Structure 1
C-alpha cells in the first residue's frame, strides 16, 4: 500500500473514475474560491460539502500532491488538459485507507460552513462562561477575544428567562444529550476542546498528539462531529432549546451567501429585473447574473421566477432533457434568445434533482 499522508489521501478521494476533474478546480473548491463557475463545479462534481474545507492550503502544496498521485499511478490524465481520472488502483487505495481512517459524511460546508464555524466559537465561549458561573467564578480570561462575540453572548444571556445557575445546569444537560448521540471518539474529541472551570480546551496539535492522528484528520473529525451536532439540533430542537436558539440566530446571520449577492436578492425581491438591478447597483449584468447562480446553488428554494419566466425556463430544461450534454453554444444555435444564465440555472436545477 502506498504511503500517503491523510491530506494526500483525502485529496485523492476527490477524484472520480467516471468524471474527469481539473486539479486547479478542485483546489479552488477546497480553498473556497467563491465564483459562479467554481460554485457550479463544486455542485457538478458533488463536492459542495467540502467547499472551503482547507482554506489555508497553499497552491504549491496542492500541486505537489497532484503530481505525486499522478506519479504513483493513483490518478491518470484525461484527454482534456489538466484533468484527471481516479485509477482503479487509486480507488482501491481509498477504499482501504478510509476503512481505517475518518471520512467526513455529515458536512455541508457550502451552505453552512461559515455558520458552523461561528456557531462553534459561540458554543465554546458559552460553555466556558456558564461553567465558571456554576462555581461563582468571575475572575478568568474569556477564550473568545473578539468583542462582537462577547457582546453577542451578553445579549443572548439577557434574553434567557433563567438565572445563570439554572441556565448552566440546563445547558449542561443539553450538552450531554447531544454528545450521547455521537460515536465515543467524536464525543471525546468535542469534550477535549471545551474550556471551563479549571479546564482548558486542547489545541488541534495537542489533540493530534493525544489521539495519535494526523492533524488534518483531527480537523475533519471535529468538523464532521460539529456538523452531526448541527443536524441533531435541527431535528430535535425541542429537546435542546438553548442550543437551538443559538443555532437559529447564527443560521440567520450567516447564510452562506456573499453580502453582494444578498443585496442583489433584495433588489429582485422588491420587483426589479436583473437589468434594473445591475443599473441600480452600477454593476455589470454578468455580475448580478453570477449572484443569481450563487443564490440558487446555495439555496435551492430560491425563487427562479424573479429572474426568468416559467416558459423560458421550461424551454431550456427541455433542451437539456433531449441532449443532457448539450453545450451552451449549441443551445444558442437552436434558440438564440436563450441567455447563458438560463442555461446555467437549468443545469443547476438538474443537479439539485440528482443530489
Structure 2
C-alpha cells in the first residue's frame, strides 16, 4: 500500500494530500477530477472506495518517515529517495480507467460472466444447471437480451468474445477467461488467478480493475455492447449527458442554465467532466486562454484569478492545452 501511495506523486509536483484521498475514494467534484488529470492520477478515481482516511494518513506518515516524500501545509512532494525507489519496480496499470468504467464495472463484469455461462449451456441445449447469478436484475436483463437477439446470437457472441480476448495482453486475457463458467467447466475466482506480483493490496484490486477495463475498451457494436448498454449508460453522469445534448443542439450557456434549472457551478462541472472523458470535445466552440508560451507545469499551476475570463473558459483552456500536448 505504501509503495502505491508513493506512485501517486509520480509527476514530482506538489500535491494536495487531502485531494488525493478524495480521488481514491471516488469524490467526483471538478476540483478532484482536474487534480487527478493534472497529476496523472485520474485512472485511480474511486479505485479504493473503502479506503479509510486514517489508513491513508498512516501510509503518508510512513512515506514521510522513510524520507520518500515531504509534506508541508497539506501539500506533499516526492523526494530524490522516493524517485529512486519508484524506478526500482514497475506496475503496469495502463488501460485502467475508473473515470469511464468505475461506476458500473463490477455489475457489467458480472453480467459478462453470467452471459458466458448462459450462452455456453444454451449452445449445448442444456437447461439444467446452477446459475452463477440469481439476482432478479441480471436474470431479467439476460432474458430480455435473449428475447431481442438476432439470429446466430451464439456464434456472434463467441466471435466477439474471442476477438476481444485476442486483442488483450495474453496474461490479462487468461486472467479474465479463466473466470468464465459454462457447460462442463467451472470458472475460478479472481483471487485464485492473480499473478504473484499483484497479490498484495491494493495491487490485486487495481490489477483486476485494469484487466476488466482493457476488456471493456475493446467492445464494439454487437451483442456484448447490446447486453451491457443499460449498465454502461450508468457509467456516465446522466445529468452531464443532458447538458452535453443541449449544447450540441445549439443552446447557449444561458439557455442551458434556464432549461436545466441548475447553478453555473454545476454546469461548469458538466463541461469539465465531458472534456476529461471525450477526445472529441468541441473546444473550438469556446473562447480559449493563450497558454502557448507556457510549459506544462506553468499551465497546471496557473491561477484563475490572474486571468480576466470566466472560470469555465480558464479550465477548458487548461484541458485543451494539456490534451493537445498528450495527443500530438
Given the two structures, how large is their TM-score scaled by the length of structure 2? 0.83
Q: Which stretch of structure 1 is more off in the superposition, 170-179 or 102-111?
A: 170-179
Per-residue CA deviation, residues 122-147 of structure 1 (Å, 9 max, x unaligned), is 21111010122234332334333443
Query: Which of 179, 192, 200 matches 1:214?
Result: 200
Cα distance in structure 2, aligned partners of 1:124 and 1:287: 37
Q: Is the Cα–Cα contact under 8 Å of residues 108 and 232 in structure 2 kept in the other structure? A: no
Q: Corresponding residue for 2:67?
A: 73
Deviation at 1:212, TM superposition (A): 8.5
Count of aligned pairs between the two proteins? 323
Per-residue CA deviation, residues 27-85 of structure 1 (Å, 9 max, x unaligned), is 2222221101111111111222222222222222211111111111121225xx21112
Q: Is the Cα–Cα contact under 8 Å of residues 171 and 242 in structure 1 kept in the other structure? A: yes
Q: Corresponding residue for 1:224?
A: 210
SS at match of 2:317: helix
Aligned ranges for residues 171-320 of structure 1 at < 5 Å?
Answer: 171-172=157-158, 174-207=160-193, 213-214=199-200, 216-233=202-219, 242-243=223-224, 246=227, 249=229, 253-254=233-234, 256-304=235-283, 308=286, 313-314=287-288, 316-317=289-290
Could you list the structure 1 runs, at least 4 aligned residues long, displaced by more than 6 angstroms after superposition.
Answer: 209-212
Distance verdict in 2 for CA 1:46–1:269, change over 3 Å = same
Query: Which of 120, 134, 156 matches 1:131?
Result: 120
Q: Which stretch of structure 1 is more off in the superposition, 8-17 or 33-42?
A: 8-17
Deviation at 1:217, TM superposition (A): 2.7
Given the two structures, how large is their TM-score scaled by the length of structure 1? 0.78
Per-residue CA deviation, residues 98-140 of structure 1 (Å, 9 max, x unaligned), is 3xxx431122321333465444222111101012223433233
SS at match of 1:97: coil
Q: Which stretch of structure 1 is more off in the superposition, 199-208 or 339-348?
A: 199-208
SS at match of 2:204: helix
Query: Which of 149, 161, 171 matches 2:150?
Result: 161
Cα distance in structure 2, aligned partners of 1:125 and 1:146: 11
Query: Which of 98, 106, 109 matches 2:95?
Result: 106
Q: Corresponding residue for 1:60?
A: 54
Q: Is the Cα–Cα contact under 8 Å of residues 36 and 293 in structure 1 kept in the other structure? A: yes
Q: Is the Cα–Cα contact under 8 Å of residues 51 and 109 in structure 1 kept in the other structure? A: yes
